Amino acid sequence: MKALLTPRFHIISLSILFILICALNKYTIVLYPAIMVFLVLLNTEYAFDFMILTMGINYLFFTENSSIFMFHPNSFITAGQIIFLIIALIKQRNKLQIYPEAFTLFGFLILSIITLFFSKDSTNGINILFSFILYLLALIYFSNSRNLTKERLFQGLVLSFFIICLIVVPLQYFFNSESLFQYNPERGYRLTIGAVHPVPLSFFFAMVFFASLFLLESSKRIFHMVSLVFSFIGIILTNTRTALIGVIVLTGYYLIVKKKYWILLLSMIAGPMVLFQKIMSIIFKTNIEASQDLTYITSGRIDFWTLMLHEFIKNPILGAGLGSSSAIMSTFNLITPHNDFIRILFELGILGLLIFIIFLIEIFKYTFKYRKKNPLILCIFLFFIITLFFDNTIDYNLYFTLYVFILMGMIKYETLNARNPG
């Protein structure tokens, strides 16, 4: 009975209620920023929990062309998140410290703004710019936050996963008549929710998988075991090679480091079998000659990357401008090249890529040191790096990338606090 009276239970209830209301009337999403302002002024922890628990709202807007007052509904979610972080930073301004990786990301942001002036697609560039602003604010705030910990983030992720599975998915399927599977001639049926592509969905499942694995270390709750199993099943059903290979390999590394050999033995039997089946299903979709073609195996990525690198030569230093990839990728009826390193190289030039790599190295340094305390954090960061090589991870703020930046900020705070407890 006491659990029903806790503030966190009230936030969970509010989150579920808001999702239900948005399902009935999509225009309700315009209230999201106002709710975030109210909660963060009331209590920063409440606002954080609400933000994580309501991430599933974006799955409700089941048509990619859905718009409210000329904006996509998800724009209101991003706006609410940015406002939350700005107010939270203002509240903590007297104790605020900014670390080297934040300065590096800020430099990257300034370069992005400059290149917008000569971008071939400034609209797309502005959308990306707001994502980078969100990531920078998250990194700064959570590297200074004492009360918001990785445990709270992971618990919120698992709860969000169950809210999506038990509430959002049924709402999509029954009220909006949306199919839970998307058919691809090359890949077969793939799990999706509304218009959300299977790839960002698989990255979200991967994050829930790692969160569940982390929580199982300290608590053997059936709740976390269920989320671990079903999030992995979700990855398989999305038929996404990047997520599946990344999770299997990095989980294997984690189990070796933790010396959980009996679990590793089971994983060595089950994991490769699943992976082998997926690879074979792709190879034998067409004839053997086609399957041996690198373009086919990489779903056209080799062609995208070759074209982008060829075009990059025209503007090698500052690039073609933030968001310009869409102008080139329209040849393939796409927006981005499914490789964020090549994308940054093309849009922001050698200078932009160099700054971005320096930023990643700075993050890697303290996550690598943290592996002695918990190697799973390093696994999550390495999974993030893997996704950057094979997809448009920068764009997935509502599904995956924001979680990574929040977590990296939390780990930074924890590392510094352990070194300087006073």
Q: Are 363 and 381 in contact (CB under 8 A)?
A: yes
Tokens of 331: 């040849």
Domain boundaries, the chain: 1-96, 98-419
For residue 268, the 8-state DSSP code is: H
Tokens 């225009």 belong to which residue?
27
Dihedral pair phi/psi, residue 190, rounded to 5°: -135, 135
Indicate the DSSP class of residue 316: T
Determine the residue type at 276. F
Q: What does the DSSP assignment read for 14-30?
A: HHHHHHHHHHH-GGGGG
Per-residue pLDDT at 197 = 82
DSSP symbol at 99: -
Residue 123 identity: T
Q: What is the pLDDT of residue 66?
A: 59
**CB 241, CB 283: distance < 8 Å:** no
Q: Helix, strand, coil proportions of the chain in percent (round to 5)?
A: 75, 5, 20
Pair 58, 74: CB distance under 8 Å: yes
Residues 6+ apart with CB under 8 A from 146: 413, 417
The one-digit pLDDT tens for each residue of the chain (422 residues) are: 445 567 788 899 999 999 988 888 888 889 999 999 999 999 999 999 999 999 878 777 655 455 665 677 788 999 999 999 999 999 988 888 889 999 999 999 999 999 998 887 777 788 889 999 999 999 999 999 888 999 999 999 999 999 988 888 887 777 665 667 777 666 677 888 766 788 999 999 999 999 999 998 877 678 888 999 899 999 988 888 889 889 988 988 888 887 765 455 555 555 555 554 454 454 444 444 444 454 555 566 787 788 888 888 888 898 888 988 877 777 766 777 889 999 999 999 999 999 999 999 999 999 999 888 889 999 999 999 999 998 889 988 888 999 999 999 999 999 887 655 44
Q: Hey, CA dihedral for 186, 189, 193, 199, is it positive or negative? A: negative
Cβ neighbours of 225 (radius 10 Å): 13
Residue 186, φ and ψ in degrees, nearest 5: -85, -35
In this structure, are residues 306 and 331 in contact, taking their beta carbons and an 8 Å threshold?
A: no
pLDDT value of position 5? 62
